[in-house]
A and B are shown apart, each in its own frame.
Chain A
Amino acid sequence: MSIVQESITAKPKKRRINRTPYLLILPGIGWLFIFFLFPLSTLLATSLQKPAGISPDDGYLPAFKVSNYSSALAEYYPQFFRAFLYSGIATVICLLLAYPIAYYMAFRARKYRNLMLVLIVAPFFASFLLRTNAWKTILSGDGLVVSVLNSINLLPQDRILNTSLAVVAGLTYNFLPFMILPLYTSLEKIDPRLIEAAGDLYSPPSQRFWKVVWPLSLPGVISGTLLTFIPASGDYINAELLGSIKDKMIGNVIQSQFIDLRDYPTASALSFTFMAVILVMVYLYIRKSGTDNLV
């Protein structure tokens, strides 16, 4: 009784508020404000501007021209669609390629684990542009890949470069590490004794995988697919260097609108729409996969 009373009377003393956490997040907030929120609102404003004259040299005037969005979408929806299609296919291939590698590293590799990690990260030491250009040489008509595939009649078009296949292959190659690393991280956290326990409880190997390993690796699958799909769908380098004119993705359109045609409102409207679509897709994806139920 006396203890309870003491604690009640002691309460209204002075409650000290610890300001340190707030001070510590201040630089981050400031950074986000200057380099994210501010450009984003500028982008939004630009996307609604109207031209001041006939030529882009005349500049643009502040306005509320919503039709920028509808006309941009009407003209460039195929590139939108293509961006999501190519990056979707690349993401699926990445997942299929990355899962066994990540699984091997997590459960089998032992002393080779670190070596494998280094090898997976190694391509980042060379620039993205350079690596994609290298693929151009690898896939070129007189390259080894094409001549081998041609000799066994596996190439209906006689070439790989400047086809959608090359774009998807390039995307897959470039974003594979972003799939492997999160997968590895979440597989590595799985206690191998859980797999033993599943075996002990009448699960043959396939069930051990689908009932224990796969559900426990879902956080890695989700972050891996997001880290692959989002940047891949906005990518324009692969389509630019490896694809034909018919393989252009939305990134290419935005890039040429901004840089070549200087049609800033259309480019901004496309960027904004792209961002919104990605946000909605990611939201639905995460809701559907129910990550909050996972450990």
Chain B
Amino acid sequence: MASNRPKVEDLHLVNLTKTFGDFKAVDNLTLTIPAGSFFALLGPSGCGKTTTLRMVAGLEEQTSGQIKLGDEDITFLPPYKRWVNTVFQSYALFPHLSIYENVAFGLRRQKAKDIDNQVKAMLDLVELSTQAQKKPQQLSGGQQQRVAVARALINEPDVLLLDEPLGALDLKLRRQMQLELKRIQTEVGITFVHVTHDQEEAMTMADTIAVMNEGRIEQLGSPIQIYEHPKTAFVANFLGQTNLFEGTVAGIEGDELVVKVKDVTFYVPLASTEIRSGQIVFGVRPEKVKIVDQGKTGLPKNQINGSIKLTAFVGVSTQYEVITNWGQEISAFEQNIDPSDLGRPGQAVTLAWEPRHSFVLDPDQDLTAGLDTSWDE
């Protein structure tokens, strides 16, 4: 049945809104997810990402708006008539059926032909051929997860929805499954929409990430784009650590904007913002910041003096908290090359980074947005 259908289509969400009582879970969301992409909806719990996913699956009814697959409006189709399948967070495997029958379930309901070969091929793909006759509760968490993927994927949906699919696995297995899912997606070429609150997971797997907050999309782009050039404080804070500075534009020098923060001068690329005067908020990621003894020369152009408040050796890097003379804390990560030479608390240091590593946020940001939320779940 699946093979008779036209090629995979783009998924369009148009002004999609879902309210629960007074609470707007999803707020006028408009989004196009290109066919064949690995798309991540990333955000803290309660940001509306799972609700969005459930509306696409047809498990939740939208308050208003439209969902389209290609040109076909699927907004009011019941779930069993949508060419969309879901990998549930809890896996929701049928406990009374064998692994084989779990995987065959969708095909049987569609009265497909040649079910046996398809199921066997799918079990091969997820490397579970030897477990076919077992019951779900006899498998490990990672294996159950793969069954859930196989059960959805075998129907060759236009879109595969993954709802925090790796949330229940331990860290090591999660890493392994991330690469596994990426491999499967490349192999089958189906659109994957992946909901997660784990920014690392989203960046590892997705080619496009939409960062969601309070029912809206804060920023959309490739992992590198949104990590390197976050547009809002929420995105900057939610995707890893960041140092943000509030300053005033003091002029333009070549292709750089000159920004004064207290009495220190910084440079940010002109191309990174439309702002040419007045207040500005810019930031830099800790791993871009060099930390050296004061008085050194040959450093990048953006420099600031301070003293070390905290040194934390975490293995791959050493993380420093440096305090400026106006009391702002700045993080800097130094790659672990020579751990015998760690800075000590109280030591006077200079922090320096290249202007091009700065990013500028959109105006009027709450600088603490997204700071605590990433640890919710």
**Which positions in A face B, CB cutoff 8 Å?**
191, 193-194, 196-204, 207, 211-212, 215-216, 293-295
Contacts and interface: CB of A to CB of B under 8 A. Distances in A.
Contacts of B135: 295
Interface stretch (B86-94, B190-198, B341-349, B354-362): B86-94
Interface string B209-235: 000000000000000000000000000
Interface of B: 57-59, 78-80, 84-86, 88, 90, 92-96, 105-106, 109-110, 135, 137, 151-152, 155
Given A191-B90, A191-B92, A196 B59 contact: yes
Contact of A199 (B78, B93, B96, B110): B78
Nearest to A191: B92
Given A197-B94, A211-B109, 19 more contacts: A191-B92, A193-B92, A194-B94, A196-B59, A197-B88, A197-B92, A199-B58, A199-B59, A199-B78, A200-B85, A201-B105, A201-B106, A202-B80, A202-B110, A204-B78, A215-B96, A216-B95, A216-B96, A295-B96
B79 A200 contact: yes
Contacts of A211: 105, 109
Given A207-B109, A295-B96, A295-B137, A200 B86 contact: yes
14 contacts: A193-B90, A197-B86, A199-B59, A200-B85, A201-B85, A201-B105, A201-B152, A202-B155, A211-B105, A212-B94, A215-B96, A216-B96, A293-B96, A294-B96
A214 to B, nearest CB: 10
Nearest to A193: B92
A207 B110 CA distance: 11
Nearest to A190: B95
A82 B95 CA distance: 40
Nearest to A197: B92
B52 to A, nearest CB: 16
A193 B88 CA distance: 8
B57 A200 contact: yes
Contacts of B88: 193, 196-197
Contacts of A293: 96
Given A193-B88, A197-B88, A202 B109 contact: yes
Listed residue (A193, A202, A211) with the most chain B CB atoms within 10 angstroms of its CB: A202
- 10 residue pairs, one from A and one from B, having the closest CB atoms: A197-B92, A201-B106, A202-B109, A199-B79, A193-B92, A295-B95, A202-B80, A200-B86, A215-B96, A203-B109
Contacts of B151: 201
A85 B347 CA distance: 94
A294 B135 CA distance: 10
B109 A201 contact: yes
Contact of B80 (A203, A215, A295): A203
Nearest to A207: B109
Listed residue (A194, A293, A294) with the most chain B CB atoms within 10 angstroms of its CB: A194
Contacts of A194: 92, 94-95
A196 B148 CA distance: 14
B12 to A, nearest CB: 20
A199 B95 contact: no
A191 B137 CA distance: 14
Given A201-B109, A201-B155, A202-B109, A196 B92 contact: yes
B105 A198 contact: yes
Contacts of A200: 57-59, 79-80, 84-86, 152
B348 to A, nearest CB: 53
